[in-house]
Chain A
């Protein structure tokens, strides 16, 4: 739907006023945050190397390379700005912003304007990366809101969300909770917003959504339909996952241990052990020995509800008593002498 010219002009005018009211004192500054981030990564990497955590060190090295590239890019931009003959900040005029809005409408087919909410948005085509369907995304620029660094705020909203199984808020490898992590595009995207180059802004965010950086995703596409084992943090496909029969946490096949009696899977915390055979058994299946109160699995608890140890003891005692019984029979006087009080007596009514 094409918007009336008047509506586009009003939007352009409002955006222009938002842009000129921004605090440009923050424009020329050294990228300290990125510097300290790199510094932290270097120290973490050194620590990992010292402790022999080779995989962690490699992962940190990769992250460091990306962060250093961003730092270099920011410094290059700063140098470029100072070397340029152009004025420091070139904010687009109302007319230019109007032309930008027309170009966006032409590029994306539809431009949604909301003067009351002070937002403009476009919707991308359905995005699929490496065979994983992510759906269309709405790129919504809230020009009435500013970020803490003075740039205009924007959101990336999944219109037909297919989030990662491990994290519902990750709707794209580089989008979490409607916030896109711009990576190498951070400087240019922010610069386009600062200058009111809205066409560049929307096309660059859309390009970012169509590109996958396997080095630094919130959730890797290879793990999109996978889940993390709560115990060992290993990643398994959704079809291979198991849930603990008691606390229902996600488990991999290695960490899920079956109860010896009911065969249901349980996590390490929820699986108890039989005091007799020490086999894994869930608390529902364990029963106490009536004699020693030991927790026993069904196999170790005998029909007389005694554990095998108690049963063996009782058998031994019975066997010890048996010769005495034979002896009493042979010598009735002795047998009478050892009889306890009241044995054989019966209450007779008067």
Chain B
């Protein structure tokens, strides 16, 4: 199935990806973010909060946004 993944950790570009049917949010996070800790990210499916074991559906929009972003001085 095809999903729209928006990874705001780093580049922040949106991309369509293919994942096996029945993939959960936690599995996709592990696949895309490696050893990153899920609690450091705001994960939304179709702009809604989601549990880790939620199965993703074809056409879902998943956004992964870090909760800690370091600013700077100009």
Q: Which of B43-71 contact A (CB under 8 A)?
A: 44, 47-48, 63, 65-71
Beta-carbon contact of B16 and A73 below 8 Å: no
A77: B residues at CB distance < 8 A: 10-13
Q: 8 nearest interchain CB pairs?
A: A174-B71, A188-B12, A183-B72, A77-B11, A213-B70, A185-B69, A216-B72, A103-B47
Beta-carbon contact of B73 and A187 below 8 Å: no
Beta-carbon contact of B14 and A173 below 8 Å: no
A103: B residues at CB distance < 8 A: 44, 47-48
Beta-carbon contact of A192 and B8 below 8 Å: yes
Beta-carbon contact of B12 and A86 below 8 Å: no
Q: Which of A178-231 contact B (CB under 8 A)?
A: 179-185, 187-189, 191-192, 195, 197, 199-200, 203-204, 207-213, 215-218
Beta-carbon contact of B10 and A188 below 8 Å: yes
Closest Cβ of chain A to B15, distance in Å, is 5
Dominant SS among interface residues on chain A: helix
Beta-carbon contact of A216 and B73 below 8 Å: yes
Task: Identify A208's interface contact among B11, B63, B71, B73, CB under 8 A.
Answer: B71
- Quick check: is A4 within 8 A (CB to CB) of the other chain? no
Residue among B6, B9, B11, B16 with the highest chain A CB neighbour number at 10 A: B11
- Quick check: is B33 within 8 A (CB to CB) of the other chain? no
When chains A and B are docked, how far (Å) is the Cα of A76 from the Cα of B11?
A: 7
Residue among A73, A103, A188, A192 with the highest chain B CB neighbour number at 10 A: A188
Cβ-closest chain A residue relative to B71:
A174
Chain A, interface size category, equals: 35 or more
- Quick check: is A340 within 8 A (CB to CB) of the other chain? no
Starting from the known contacts A76-B11, A197-B6, A200-B12, 4 additional A-B residue pairs (CB-CB under 8 Å) come to A77-B12, A103-B47, A176-B73, A185-B71
Closest Cβ of chain B to A178, distance in Å, is 13
Task: Identify B12's interface contact among A174, A179, A191, CB under 8 A.
Answer: A191
Beta-carbon contact of B42 and A203 below 8 Å: yes
- Quick check: is A66 within 8 A (CB to CB) of the other chain? yes
When chains A and B are docked, how far (Å) is the Cα of A80 from the Cα of B8?
A: 13
Whether A181 contacts B72 in the complex (CB less than 8 A), given A188-B10, A197-B6, A203-B65, comes out as yes
A residues adjacent to B (C-beta < 8 A): 66, 73, 76-77, 80-81, 84-86, 90, 99-100, 102-103, 173-176, 179-185, 187-189, 191-192, 195, 197, 199-200, 203-204, 207-213, 215-218
Task: Identify A174's interface contact among B8, B47, B73, CB under 8 A.
Answer: B73
B residues adjacent to A (C-beta < 8 A): 6, 8-16, 42, 44, 47-48, 63, 65-74
Cβ-closest chain B residue relative to A219:
B73
Beta-carbon contact of A81 and B13 below 8 Å: yes
Beta-carbon contact of A73 and B14 below 8 Å: no
When chains A and B are docked, how far (Å) is the Cα of A203 from the Cα of B42?
A: 9
Beta-carbon contact of B12 and A187 below 8 Å: yes
5 A-B residue contacts at CB 8 Å?
A73-B10, A199-B63, A207-B69, A208-B71, A212-B70
A210: B residues at CB distance < 8 A: 67-68
Closest Cβ of chain A to B27, distance in Å, is 22
B6: A residues at CB distance < 8 A: 197, 200
Closest Cβ of chain B to A125, distance in Å, is 14
Closest Cβ of chain A to B71, distance in Å, is 3
A85: B residues at CB distance < 8 A: 15-16
Beta-carbon contact of B11 and A187 below 8 Å: yes
Closest Cβ of chain B to A110, distance in Å, is 17
Beta-carbon contact of B13 and A191 below 8 Å: yes
Beta-carbon contact of A207 and B11 below 8 Å: no
When chains A and B are docked, how far (Å) is the Cα of A190 from the Cα of B71?
A: 14
A199: B residues at CB distance < 8 A: 44, 47, 63
When chains A and B are docked, how far (Å) is the Cα of A81 from the Cα of B12?
A: 10
